[in-house]
Amino acid sequence: MKILVVGGGGREHAIVWKLSQSPRVSRIYCAPGNGGIASMAECIEIEATDLDGITVFAREKEIDLTVVAPDDPLAMGMVDKLEANGLRAFGPRKAAARLESSKVYAKEFMKKYGIPTAEYQAFESYEDALSYLKQADFPVVVKADGLALGKGVIIASSREEAENALREMLLEGRFGDAGKRILIEEFITGPEVSILAFTDGRTAIPMVSSQDHKRVYDGDKGPNTGGMGAFSPSPFYTADIAKYVEKNIIEPTIRGMGEEGSPFKGVLYFGLMLTSDGPKVLEYNARFGDPETQAVLPRLKSDLLEIMEAVIDERLDQMQIDWDDRAAACVVLASGGYPGSYDKGIPIEIGEVTDCLLFHAGTAQGLHGLVTNGGRVLGVTALGKDLEQCIRKVYGSINRIYFKGMHYRRDIGRIKEREQ
């Protein structure tokens, strides 16, 4: 089979790596890919958001399956377009991807189907939002409705900060159309867990649990990033909690989307907070998480292609999915300056990396070898009998990787006993 993977980050490298192990895969293309993916797939110069370009390429090359991994093309309807052209695609259609592309839609959906989440109010008018703040307790969480590269969530500890966020989003257009509607949410606390699930619109099979580290510096300090590392499993996600989440969150979500007439097919990501009041949904993502995927897929023993096909053909109920009992951790190496501005084209030196997987994100093949080409550059993943062993292996390998300005967190997987 000929496969096309859309995207070019660490998540896509992990997906390409896993799919390349499937005996039925004969050839993999990746658009646009990166310097590491190029060693196991043919990278093509088409942007992940180029719906026409991807569709034309898939038709010309007679691609058997296109895997759409990033949020933007899913929100733009790439899967709908591929299907309309008679092509097979993995990922939710545009209407189902709204669970991620509109936070207001996701909240209204959760309210309608009784899915536990933080209390909220939605606003389009600055004046209305401002007057709501008058009776609010702080902190509150202000969120832009649409996709904002993970930057559209502001935790405002005072009225002044909240008012600033409202002004930036609703009056100054900081996030463009994505910030024309906003949510003001109740601030909730507890450990965060990411649960990714395969779903064919009727059946959902959760993957092993994971957790990502969003802040740039150790101890969860500094600004939010796309994710500085992840580990799996989460020690907080016990069997009892898993059972509760399946019954009260995952199943009602899948059923509800069916009732809405937009069944969700693909990978649905549940960003959960385990509060003293029980698990609540912080957000949905309509796709594999990044960098959670780099910690979760190495633990998948089953054939990813078989699972993806079962999702598309709606026979996930007949699938058995097996996982490696070992733990996994992934540490992201970032460019100097990230998540602010950074230089590209810096040479990367990689010595002997043993017993680790190297997932490339912002890398490119330069004239004289590998160079940096983005903010998050590389993800180093190790499997181990426990988290401690993974962490030792990963940081041991990182000592053999260097590029000027490189920085990374030293505390990935070292979670506090109980947050708060």
* Contact footprint for ligand AMP (CB under 6 A): 118, 141, 143, 153, 155, 185-188, 192, 214, 271, 282-283
Between the alpha carbon of residue 78 and those of residues 6, 48, 69, 183, 267, the distances in Å are 10, 9, 11, 27, 15
What one-character DSSP code corresponds to residue 179?
G
Contact 402, 378 (CB under 8 A): no
Contact 90, 198 (CB under 8 A): no
**Interaction partner, residue 153 (ligand GLY, ligand AMP, none; CB < 5-8 Å by kind):** ligand AMP
Cα distance between residue 338 and residue 222, in whole Å: 11
SS percent in the chain: helix, strand, coil, step 5:
30, 30, 40
Contact 211, 230 (CB under 8 A): yes
Residue type, 366: G
**Interaction partner, residue 185 (ligand AMP, ligand GLY, none; CB < 5-8 Å by kind):** ligand AMP
Give the CA diameter of the chain.
Answer: 61
**Per CB under 6 A, 80 contacts ligand GLY:** no
289 vs 362 by CB, closer to ligand GLY = 289
**Interaction partner, residue 290 (ligand AMP, ligand GLY, none; CB < 5-8 Å by kind):** ligand GLY
Contact 230, 326 (CB under 8 A): no
Q: Binding residue for ligand GLY (CB under 6 A) from 289, 362, 374, 375?
A: 289
Q: Binding residue for ligand GLY (CB under 6 A) from 7, 35, 73, 227?
A: 227
141 vs 310 by CB, closer to ligand AMP = 141
**Per CB under 6 A, 192 contacts ligand GLY:** no
**Per CB under 6 A, 145 contacts ligand GLY:** no
The total number of residues shown for the chain amounts to 420
233 vs 370 by CB, closer to ligand GLY = 233
**Per CB under 6 A, 303 contacts ligand GLY:** no
**Per CB under 6 A, 290 contacts ligand GLY:** yes
**Per CB under 6 A, 12 contacts ligand GLY:** no
Place of tokens 């993916």: 37
Binding site for ligand GLY (CB under 6 A): 212, 227, 285, 289-290, 292
